[in-house]
Amino acid sequence: MAEPGDNVTIPEFNNLLQMDPLLKTYDKDFQRRYELLQKKLFQLEEAEGGFDQFTRSYRTFGVQRQPDNSLFFKEWAPAAEALFLTGDFTVQVVVVHTKEGERLYRISPWAKYVTREEKSVIYDWVHWDPALPYIQIHPRPKKPTSLRIYEAHVGIASPESTIASYTNFTTNVLPRIKDLGYNCIQLMAIMEHAYYASFGYQVTSFFAASSRYGTPDELKLLIDTAHSMGIMVLLDVVHSHASKNVEDGLNKFDGSDSCFFHSSPRGDHSQWDSRLFNYSSWEVLRFLLSNLRWWMEEYRFDGFRFDGVTSMLYHHHGVGTGFSGDYSEYFGLQVDEDSLVYLMLANHILHTLYPSCITVAEDVSGMPALCREVQEGGLGFDYRLAMAIPDKWIQILKELKDEDWDMGNIIHTLTNRRYGEKCIAYAESHDQALVGDKSLAFWLMDKEMYTNMSSLIPMTPVIDRGLQLHKMIRLLTHSMGGEGYLNFMGNEFGHPEWLDFPREGNNQSYHYARRQFNLLDIDNLRYHQLYAFDRDMNRTEDKYGWLAAPPAFVSAKHEGDKVIVFDRANVLFIFNFHPTKSFQGYRVAVDVPGKYPFCSHLSLMSTECIICFYLKCNIRQ
């Protein structure tokens, strides 16, 4: 591989410009980013024999068992005078001797398994090397054309007030996900995190699957079982920051303020109270890229949802910044080129080694070319989260009367996405379920969810309205909002309570750190109606494939009638959001004459209700 010069050509840059000619103004920025990427790939080839070897560094760093049963120990600690390994070689400790004469006790950054005794607050590094490790046997599923994601957290996946297990998820939750018609699971809070209430976003051990749910083999069984059902599994990966924990985290591993991170203050995230990686460091790249490879190889995940991408892309981390869409916001000195090139490198390597790999970016800024191929000058993600959509629904439910809903504004929010860059649409995610916010069901039905969800009593206007709008909002988002769809665990049936992890403020209670799947097993509660609708919605999409089709063509948005009509994947959708009016003989335009028979798959559509007279999808013949 020849060393790239200063005039590297972006092979397919014209494809990007054809989709968005306005980016031509910033061609030098794209050129510079691509040159930096190519130089990094060249350096990897020269120094490490290529990225394939480089990203397998988890085989040589940390503690490795040798063929003669001895242990080999290797760490990167630039500020340390010396390192020693101590312990009984079941529980291990890295002893760091600093240049100032201090003796520090640390966990290896490459630790594969860490546990904590019940009354301890510090995790211990345990050497995990079972004599008969679990061997996964089922092949990875094919990459779906229509991605339907079930966002899940293993620890809360039970009605019990406790931390649920990998085994519970495999046995009790996976069959529900399969029945609902989701073809992908996004697992949160898998990377080990000492603070449970951080929802997994304050990672302490990057290579360790959280032991609070069970063993590594039990996680492997979970993923293998999902694969046997044809379900892909994505890891919610956190490479945007790390926990400030010292004794059981990466922070100050070698006694210095930097090592894996920028020195303070650049290395501190003011809002997250966490440390920020130095993506220009060779060894940090080794650590993070090997981390991605580890999860793909050892556990056979199918891809990643990258958390906090906005924070990575800009030196201001998105803090106090409102993105207007002006292209000047995405280029220039405010962009962190080191982290941007890291993301390009990560996507390039992942998609080269694993062509069916899926990567999803959590970015609120709208960075152009985020979801275009690296060969075009893009960052290489497959999808971005359509983060404006849930905010819009919450704003509407919180601030507007039913008669004040703006059909045009709703459509604009659902369709306002960059051309040629795929989005994951969602009406709500884990963010809306957290304490301090409300789920859609709670905004719609509030306290009546506790008293009036029984089918043994007459349906109240609040419950009637809530059930219908819950269905309509989710179907409209599903069918118009993107090229993929996401649902957070429990929201498919209108989970009645918020999510709050045990902490000092709630007396360490697990009461709200659970999902009440048991409500679905009570026949006279209306939760199972919402569940059945969600299942039918996914199955109907699976049959007609609107997520894989071009964007919807909106033929009507009537503010007076509160009616939305659009066409996607040869399916005609008609929504009536009017709070009091039903319509008979309502005329809508279609571009092809013919008969449009009723789609029977969405079996729970009500034709006689206050809010929704007509909610149907018809198939052209």
- Residues known to be catalytic: 307, 362
Query: The tokens of 158 are what?
Result: 């039970």
Residues 6+ apart with CB under 8 A from 330: 26, 365, 366, 367, 368
CA nearest neighbour of 302 among 372, 355, 381: 355
Query: What residues contact residue 248 under an 8 Å CB cut-off, 6+ apart?
Result: 107, 114, 122, 123, 194, 204, 205
Q: How far apart are CA 319 and CA 270, in angstroms?
A: 9
CB within 8 Å of 619: residues ≥ 6 apart: 544, 570, 571, 596, 597, 599
Amino acid code (one letter) for 573? F
Q: Which of 180, 166, 175, 168 is nearest to 219 (CA)?
A: 166
Tell me how far apart the 2 most distant CA atoms of the chain are, in Å.
Answer: 86
Contacts of 204 (CB under 8 A, 6+ apart): 107, 114, 123, 192, 193, 194, 242, 243, 245, 248, 249, 250
Distance CA 595, CA 600 (A): 15
| Cα–Cα distance list, 559 to 416, 544, 562, 567, 573 (Å) | 19, 29, 5, 19, 17
Instruction: Write out the two tokens for 425.
Output: 């649409």
Q: What backbone phi and psi angles, to 5 degrees, belong to 305?
A: -105, 115
Containing H/E element for 536?
helix 527-544
Query: Cα angle vertex 604, ends 600, 606, to 5°?
Result: 105
φ and ψ at residue 125, rounded to 5 degrees: -85, 115
Within 8 A by CB and 6+ apart from 17, the residues are: 23, 24, 27
Which candidate, 370, 360, 277, places its Cα nearest to that of 317? 277
Integer angstrom CA distances of residue 116 from 109, 120, 187, 503: 16, 6, 22, 17
Please tell me the distance from the alpha carbon of residue 480 to that of residue 554, in angstroms, as a whole number.
9
Query: 200 to each of 299, 338, 363, 386, 406, how far by Cα in Å?
Result: 18, 25, 18, 22, 37
Nearest to 39 by CA among 8, 4, 1, 2: 4
Collapse the DSSP code of 290 into the 3-class scheme (helix H, G, I; strand E, B; otherwise coil) and give the result: helix
CB atoms within 10 A of CB 485: 28
Q: 392: which residues sit within 8 A by CB, 6+ positions away?
A: 409, 410, 413
Residue type, 269: H
Contacts of 218 (CB under 8 A, 6+ apart): 165, 166, 167, 170
